Structure 1
Protein backbone atom coordinates (compact mmCIF):
# COMPACT_ATOMS: atom_id res chain seq x y z
CA UNK A 1 0.00 0.00 0.00
CA UNK A 2 1.41 3.38 -1.04
CA UNK A 3 1.82 6.01 1.67
CA UNK A 4 -0.65 8.91 1.55
CA UNK A 5 0.42 12.00 -0.36
CA UNK A 6 1.92 14.54 1.97
CA UNK A 7 0.86 17.57 -0.12
CA UNK A 8 -2.67 17.55 -1.48
CA UNK A 9 -2.93 18.29 -5.21
CA UNK A 10 -5.99 20.50 -4.68
CA UNK A 11 -4.00 22.72 -2.30
CA UNK A 12 -1.30 23.10 -4.94
CA UNK A 13 -3.84 23.84 -7.68
CA UNK A 14 -5.68 26.31 -5.44
CA UNK A 15 -2.41 28.13 -4.81
CA UNK A 16 -1.67 28.30 -8.55
CA UNK A 17 -5.17 29.59 -9.28
CA UNK A 18 -4.89 32.23 -6.55
CA UNK A 19 -1.55 33.48 -7.90
CA UNK A 20 -2.87 33.67 -11.46
CA UNK A 21 -6.02 35.53 -10.44
CA UNK A 22 -4.22 37.94 -8.12
CA UNK A 23 -1.08 38.72 -10.08
CA UNK A 24 -1.46 37.27 -13.58
CA UNK A 25 -0.13 34.12 -15.22
CA UNK A 26 3.54 35.13 -15.09
CA UNK A 27 3.38 35.31 -11.29
CA UNK A 28 2.63 31.57 -11.12
CA UNK A 29 6.16 30.21 -11.33
CA UNK A 30 6.93 26.79 -9.87
CA UNK A 31 8.79 28.47 -7.00
CA UNK A 32 5.88 30.83 -6.28
CA UNK A 33 3.32 28.00 -6.40
CA UNK A 34 5.51 25.90 -4.10
CA UNK A 35 5.85 28.76 -1.62
CA UNK A 36 2.12 29.55 -1.69
CA UNK A 37 1.05 25.90 -1.33
CA UNK A 38 3.72 24.76 1.13
CA UNK A 39 4.70 21.91 -1.18
CA UNK A 40 8.35 21.44 -2.11
CA UNK A 41 9.38 22.43 -5.64
CA UNK A 42 10.34 18.80 -6.28
CA UNK A 43 6.80 17.67 -5.49
CA UNK A 44 5.40 20.02 -8.13
CA UNK A 45 7.85 18.79 -10.77
CA UNK A 46 7.23 15.16 -9.83
CA UNK A 47 3.44 15.45 -9.82
CA UNK A 48 2.84 17.93 -12.66
CA UNK A 49 6.02 17.94 -14.75
CA UNK A 50 6.52 21.70 -14.93
CA UNK A 51 4.76 25.05 -14.55
CA UNK A 52 2.55 24.40 -17.58
CA UNK A 53 1.51 21.08 -16.04
CA UNK A 54 0.35 22.76 -12.83
CA UNK A 55 -1.56 25.51 -14.65
CA UNK A 56 -3.07 23.03 -17.12
CA UNK A 57 -4.40 20.94 -14.26
CA UNK A 58 -5.75 23.99 -12.43
CA UNK A 59 -7.63 25.17 -15.54
CA UNK A 60 -8.93 21.70 -16.47
CA UNK A 61 -10.02 21.07 -12.87
CA UNK A 62 -12.10 24.26 -13.00
CA UNK A 63 -13.61 23.14 -16.31
CA UNK A 64 -14.39 19.67 -14.93
CA UNK A 65 -16.11 21.19 -11.90
CA UNK A 66 -18.20 23.41 -14.19
CA UNK A 67 -19.11 20.59 -16.53
CA UNK A 68 -20.06 18.15 -13.78
CA UNK A 69 -22.97 20.30 -12.66
CA UNK A 70 -24.00 21.45 -16.12
CA UNK A 71 -24.00 17.96 -17.64
CA UNK A 72 -25.94 16.49 -14.73
CA UNK A 73 -28.52 19.27 -15.09
CA UNK A 74 -28.88 18.59 -18.82
CA UNK A 75 -30.10 15.03 -18.30
CA UNK A 76 -33.75 16.08 -18.12
CA UNK A 77 -35.97 14.56 -20.83
CA UNK A 78 -37.69 17.80 -21.93
CA UNK A 79 -35.24 19.80 -24.08
CA UNK A 80 -36.30 23.24 -22.81
CA UNK A 81 -36.18 22.07 -19.19
CA UNK A 82 -32.74 20.53 -19.84
CA UNK A 83 -31.39 23.74 -21.35
CA UNK A 84 -32.80 25.91 -18.56
CA UNK A 85 -31.38 23.55 -15.93
CA UNK A 86 -27.97 23.77 -17.60
CA UNK A 87 -28.16 27.57 -17.46
CA UNK A 88 -29.06 27.46 -13.78
CA UNK A 89 -26.18 25.07 -13.10
CA UNK A 90 -23.76 27.45 -14.84
CA UNK A 91 -24.85 30.36 -12.67
CA UNK A 92 -24.68 28.18 -9.53
CA UNK A 93 -21.12 27.23 -10.49
CA UNK A 94 -20.23 30.93 -10.59
CA UNK A 95 -21.84 31.45 -7.20
CA UNK A 96 -20.40 28.36 -5.47
CA UNK A 97 -16.92 28.28 -7.04
CA UNK A 98 -16.22 31.91 -7.92
CA UNK A 99 -12.45 31.50 -8.22
CA UNK A 100 -12.81 28.61 -10.66
CA UNK A 101 -15.36 30.65 -12.60
CA UNK A 102 -13.00 33.64 -12.72
CA UNK A 103 -10.18 31.43 -13.98
CA UNK A 104 -12.32 30.08 -16.84
CA UNK A 105 -13.83 33.46 -17.66
CA UNK A 106 -10.63 35.48 -17.49
CA UNK A 107 -8.00 33.29 -19.07
CA UNK A 108 -7.73 30.96 -22.00
CA UNK A 109 -5.21 28.15 -21.80
CA UNK A 110 -3.01 30.02 -24.29
CA UNK A 111 -2.86 32.92 -21.77
CA UNK A 112 -1.58 30.60 -19.06
CA UNK A 113 0.85 28.30 -20.76
CA UNK A 114 4.35 28.87 -22.08
CA UNK A 115 4.15 28.07 -25.78
CA UNK A 116 0.41 27.44 -25.69
CA UNK A 117 -1.58 24.23 -25.27
CA UNK A 118 -0.05 21.09 -26.74
CA UNK A 119 -1.78 18.24 -28.58
CA UNK A 120 -2.31 16.33 -25.33
CA UNK A 121 -4.14 19.28 -23.80
CA UNK A 122 -6.25 19.78 -26.93
CA UNK A 123 -7.19 16.10 -26.91
CA UNK A 124 -8.21 16.18 -23.25
CA UNK A 125 -10.21 19.37 -23.80
CA UNK A 126 -12.03 17.89 -26.80
CA UNK A 127 -12.86 14.79 -24.76
CA UNK A 128 -14.19 16.89 -21.89
CA UNK A 129 -16.27 19.09 -24.21
CA UNK A 130 -17.77 16.23 -26.26
CA UNK A 131 -20.57 15.38 -23.77
CA UNK A 132 -21.57 19.05 -23.50
CA UNK A 133 -21.72 19.39 -27.27
CA UNK A 134 -23.83 16.23 -27.43
CA UNK A 135 -26.29 17.72 -24.92
CA UNK A 136 -26.57 20.86 -27.07
CA UNK A 137 -27.02 18.71 -30.19
CA UNK A 138 -29.79 16.68 -28.50
CA UNK A 139 -31.61 19.82 -27.37
CA UNK A 140 -31.39 21.25 -30.88
CA UNK A 141 -32.61 18.02 -32.45
CA UNK A 142 -35.56 17.67 -30.07
CA UNK A 143 -36.61 21.29 -30.47
CA UNK A 144 -36.17 21.71 -34.21
CA UNK A 145 -35.93 18.22 -35.66
CA UNK A 146 -32.35 18.93 -36.80
CA UNK A 147 -28.95 18.97 -35.11
CA UNK A 148 -26.73 20.72 -37.61
CA UNK A 149 -24.32 23.56 -37.04
CA UNK A 150 -27.05 26.21 -37.08
CA UNK A 151 -29.22 24.40 -34.54
CA UNK A 152 -26.30 23.73 -32.17
CA UNK A 153 -25.27 27.38 -32.52
CA UNK A 154 -28.80 28.53 -31.69
CA UNK A 155 -28.99 26.33 -28.60
CA UNK A 156 -25.51 27.50 -27.57
CA UNK A 157 -26.67 31.12 -27.61
CA UNK A 158 -29.30 30.27 -25.01
CA UNK A 159 -27.49 27.66 -22.92
CA UNK A 160 -23.83 28.77 -23.14
CA UNK A 161 -23.61 32.41 -24.23
CA UNK A 162 -26.25 33.89 -21.91
CA UNK A 163 -24.83 32.53 -18.64
CA UNK A 164 -21.25 33.10 -19.83
CA UNK A 165 -21.94 36.77 -20.55
CA UNK A 166 -23.77 37.25 -17.25
CA UNK A 167 -21.05 35.54 -15.22
CA UNK A 168 -18.35 37.49 -17.01
CA UNK A 169 -20.10 40.80 -16.25
CA UNK A 170 -20.33 39.95 -12.55
CA UNK A 171 -17.07 37.97 -12.24
CA UNK A 172 -15.34 40.51 -10.02
CA UNK A 173 -18.31 41.31 -7.82
CA UNK A 174 -18.08 40.26 -4.19
CA UNK A 175 -21.09 38.04 -4.81
CA UNK A 176 -23.48 37.36 -7.65
CA UNK A 177 -26.85 39.12 -7.46
CA UNK A 178 -29.57 36.91 -5.96
CA UNK A 179 -31.82 37.47 -8.98
CA UNK A 180 -29.25 36.55 -11.64
CA UNK A 181 -30.04 32.84 -11.89
CA UNK A 182 -33.79 33.42 -12.29
CA UNK A 183 -33.33 36.22 -14.84
CA UNK A 184 -30.88 34.33 -17.05
CA UNK A 185 -32.92 31.12 -16.82
CA UNK A 186 -36.07 33.02 -17.88
CA UNK A 187 -34.26 34.57 -20.86
CA UNK A 188 -32.88 31.17 -21.88
CA UNK A 189 -36.35 29.62 -21.64
CA UNK A 190 -37.79 32.25 -24.00
CA UNK A 191 -35.06 31.63 -26.54
CA UNK A 192 -35.32 27.85 -26.34
CA UNK A 193 -39.10 27.88 -26.60
CA UNK A 194 -38.80 30.05 -29.72
CA UNK A 195 -36.86 27.22 -31.41
CA UNK A 196 -39.60 24.62 -31.04
CA UNK A 197 -40.47 23.29 -34.47
Structure 2
Protein backbone atom coordinates (compact mmCIF):
# COMPACT_ATOMS: atom_id res chain seq x y z
CA UNK A 1 0.00 0.00 0.00
CA UNK A 2 1.40 3.39 -0.95
CA UNK A 3 1.00 6.64 0.95
CA UNK A 4 0.22 8.55 -2.27
CA UNK A 5 -2.89 6.44 -2.77
CA UNK A 6 -4.08 7.25 0.74
CA UNK A 7 -3.30 10.96 0.32
CA UNK A 8 -5.37 10.88 -2.86
CA UNK A 9 -8.32 9.78 -0.69
CA UNK A 10 -7.99 13.00 1.34
CA UNK A 11 -6.95 11.21 4.54
CA UNK A 12 -5.06 13.03 7.29
CA UNK A 13 -1.45 12.20 8.06
CA UNK A 14 -2.51 10.53 11.35
CA UNK A 15 -5.02 8.34 9.52
CA UNK A 16 -2.44 7.42 6.89
CA UNK A 17 0.09 6.54 9.60
CA UNK A 18 -2.45 4.32 11.41
CA UNK A 19 -3.33 2.49 8.17
CA UNK A 20 0.34 1.98 7.28
CA UNK A 21 1.09 0.64 10.77
CA UNK A 22 -1.82 -1.85 10.58
CA UNK A 23 -0.70 -2.92 7.09
CA UNK A 24 2.85 -3.45 8.39
CA UNK A 25 1.56 -5.77 11.13
CA UNK A 26 -0.34 -7.84 8.54
CA UNK A 27 2.75 -8.09 6.33
CA UNK A 28 4.94 -9.23 9.25
CA UNK A 29 2.33 -11.86 10.23
CA UNK A 30 2.32 -13.19 6.65
CA UNK A 31 6.13 -13.33 6.62
CA UNK A 32 6.22 -15.28 9.89
CA UNK A 33 3.76 -17.86 8.56
CA UNK A 34 6.00 -18.35 5.50
CA UNK A 35 8.84 -19.27 7.87
CA UNK A 36 6.64 -22.05 9.27
CA UNK A 37 6.04 -23.38 5.75
CA UNK A 38 9.78 -23.45 5.01
CA UNK A 39 10.45 -25.35 8.25
CA UNK A 40 7.75 -27.88 7.37
CA UNK A 41 9.21 -28.40 3.89
CA UNK A 42 12.68 -28.90 5.39
CA UNK A 43 11.39 -31.46 7.89
CA UNK A 44 9.40 -33.25 5.17
CA UNK A 45 12.49 -33.51 2.95
CA UNK A 46 14.55 -34.89 5.86
CA UNK A 47 11.97 -37.55 6.66
CA UNK A 48 11.71 -38.60 3.01
CA UNK A 49 15.51 -38.88 2.79
CA UNK A 50 15.59 -41.10 5.90
CA UNK A 51 12.94 -43.40 4.42
CA UNK A 52 14.84 -43.68 1.12
CA UNK A 53 18.08 -44.56 2.92
CA UNK A 54 16.30 -47.17 5.03
CA UNK A 55 14.77 -48.83 1.97
CA UNK A 56 18.19 -49.02 0.23
CA UNK A 57 19.75 -50.59 3.35
CA UNK A 58 16.99 -53.21 3.52
CA UNK A 59 17.37 -54.20 -0.13
CA UNK A 60 21.15 -54.50 0.17
CA UNK A 61 20.86 -56.59 3.34
CA UNK A 62 18.28 -58.94 1.80
CA UNK A 63 20.61 -59.60 -1.14
CA UNK A 64 23.45 -60.47 1.22
CA UNK A 65 21.36 -62.78 3.43
CA UNK A 66 20.78 -65.70 1.12
CA UNK A 67 19.97 -68.89 3.10
CA UNK A 68 21.65 -68.10 6.42
CA UNK A 69 19.11 -68.40 9.26
CA UNK A 70 20.87 -65.98 11.65
CA UNK A 71 21.02 -63.33 9.03
CA UNK A 72 17.39 -64.01 8.11
CA UNK A 73 16.40 -63.42 11.74
CA UNK A 74 18.44 -60.19 11.83
CA UNK A 75 16.76 -59.04 8.63
CA UNK A 76 13.34 -59.85 10.10
CA UNK A 77 14.17 -57.94 13.28
CA UNK A 78 15.50 -55.00 11.29
CA UNK A 79 12.43 -55.06 9.08
CA UNK A 80 10.18 -54.88 12.17
CA UNK A 81 12.29 -52.03 13.55
CA UNK A 82 12.13 -50.16 10.26
CA UNK A 83 8.38 -50.71 10.04
CA UNK A 84 7.96 -49.21 13.52
CA UNK A 85 10.25 -46.33 12.58
CA UNK A 86 8.20 -45.76 9.43
CA UNK A 87 4.98 -45.62 11.44
CA UNK A 88 6.55 -43.19 13.91
CA UNK A 89 7.93 -40.99 11.14
CA UNK A 90 4.60 -41.04 9.30
CA UNK A 91 2.77 -40.05 12.49
CA UNK A 92 5.28 -37.26 13.07
CA UNK A 93 4.92 -36.06 9.48
CA UNK A 94 1.11 -36.11 9.71
CA UNK A 95 1.26 -34.13 12.97
CA UNK A 96 3.60 -31.61 11.34
CA UNK A 97 1.24 -31.26 8.36
CA UNK A 98 -1.73 -30.83 10.72
CA UNK A 99 0.09 -28.16 12.72
CA UNK A 100 1.07 -26.30 9.57
CA UNK A 101 -2.45 -26.41 8.13
CA UNK A 102 -3.89 -25.31 11.47
CA UNK A 103 -1.49 -22.36 11.71
CA UNK A 104 -2.38 -21.32 8.17
CA UNK A 105 -6.11 -21.61 8.89
CA UNK A 106 -5.82 -19.60 12.11
CA UNK A 107 -3.87 -16.89 10.30
CA UNK A 108 -6.61 -16.81 7.67
CA UNK A 109 -9.19 -16.40 10.44
CA UNK A 110 -7.23 -13.32 11.60
CA UNK A 111 -6.57 -14.60 15.09
CA UNK A 112 -4.69 -12.27 17.39
CA UNK A 113 -2.95 -15.02 19.40
CA UNK A 114 -2.73 -18.47 17.74
CA UNK A 115 -1.65 -20.30 20.90
CA UNK A 116 -4.67 -19.02 22.82
CA UNK A 117 -7.11 -19.95 20.07
CA UNK A 118 -5.45 -23.36 19.62
CA UNK A 119 -5.82 -24.02 23.37
CA UNK A 120 -9.59 -23.54 23.00
CA UNK A 121 -9.84 -26.05 20.14
CA UNK A 122 -10.72 -29.74 20.60
CA UNK A 123 -7.90 -31.21 18.51
CA UNK A 124 -9.47 -34.70 18.59
CA UNK A 125 -12.28 -33.40 16.36
CA UNK A 126 -9.95 -31.76 13.80
CA UNK A 127 -8.73 -33.98 10.97
CA UNK A 128 -6.44 -33.25 8.03
CA UNK A 129 -7.87 -34.57 4.76
CA UNK A 130 -5.73 -35.90 1.90
CA UNK A 131 -6.27 -32.66 -0.06
CA UNK A 132 -4.84 -30.62 2.85
CA UNK A 133 -8.16 -29.27 4.12
CA UNK A 134 -9.07 -29.34 7.79
CA UNK A 135 -12.40 -30.81 8.85
CA UNK A 136 -14.01 -29.96 12.15
CA UNK A 137 -12.26 -26.60 12.47
CA UNK A 138 -14.82 -24.18 11.02
CA UNK A 139 -17.56 -25.00 13.52
CA UNK A 140 -15.16 -24.69 16.44
CA UNK A 141 -13.76 -21.38 15.16
CA UNK A 142 -17.28 -19.98 14.74
CA UNK A 143 -18.12 -20.91 18.34
CA UNK A 144 -14.89 -19.39 19.62
CA UNK A 145 -15.48 -16.18 17.61
CA UNK A 146 -18.98 -15.95 19.06
CA UNK A 147 -17.83 -16.35 22.67
CA UNK A 148 -14.42 -14.63 22.41
CA UNK A 149 -14.59 -11.95 19.71
CA UNK A 150 -11.55 -10.18 21.14
CA UNK A 151 -9.30 -13.05 20.00
CA UNK A 152 -9.89 -12.17 16.33
CA UNK A 153 -9.15 -9.05 14.31
CA UNK A 154 -12.38 -8.29 12.49
CA UNK A 155 -11.38 -4.74 11.53
CA UNK A 156 -13.30 -1.57 12.27
CA UNK A 157 -17.10 -1.50 12.27
CA UNK A 158 -18.03 0.76 9.34
CA UNK A 159 -21.82 0.50 9.63
CA UNK A 160 -22.19 3.45 12.00
CA UNK A 161 -24.40 6.16 10.52
CA UNK A 162 -25.21 8.98 12.97
CA UNK A 163 -28.15 11.38 12.52
CA UNK A 164 -30.78 8.83 11.57
CA UNK A 165 -28.55 6.84 9.24
CA UNK A 166 -29.87 8.33 6.02
CA UNK A 167 -27.04 10.80 5.59
CA UNK A 168 -29.33 13.82 5.76
CA UNK A 169 -28.80 16.73 8.08
CA UNK A 170 -31.69 16.67 10.56
CA UNK A 171 -31.15 20.20 11.80
CA UNK A 172 -34.85 20.86 12.39
CA UNK A 173 -35.94 17.70 14.19
CA UNK A 174 -39.09 19.30 15.57
CA UNK A 175 -40.31 20.19 12.07
CA UNK A 176 -39.51 16.63 10.94
CA UNK A 177 -41.68 15.22 13.73
CA UNK A 178 -44.52 17.62 12.93
CA UNK A 179 -44.37 16.60 9.27
CA UNK A 180 -44.43 12.94 10.25
CA UNK A 181 -47.61 13.38 12.33
CA UNK A 182 -49.50 15.30 9.60
Instruction: Decide which structure has greater helix share.
Output: 1
Which structure: larger Rg?
A: 2
TM-score by length of 1: 0.26
TM-score by length of 2: 0.28
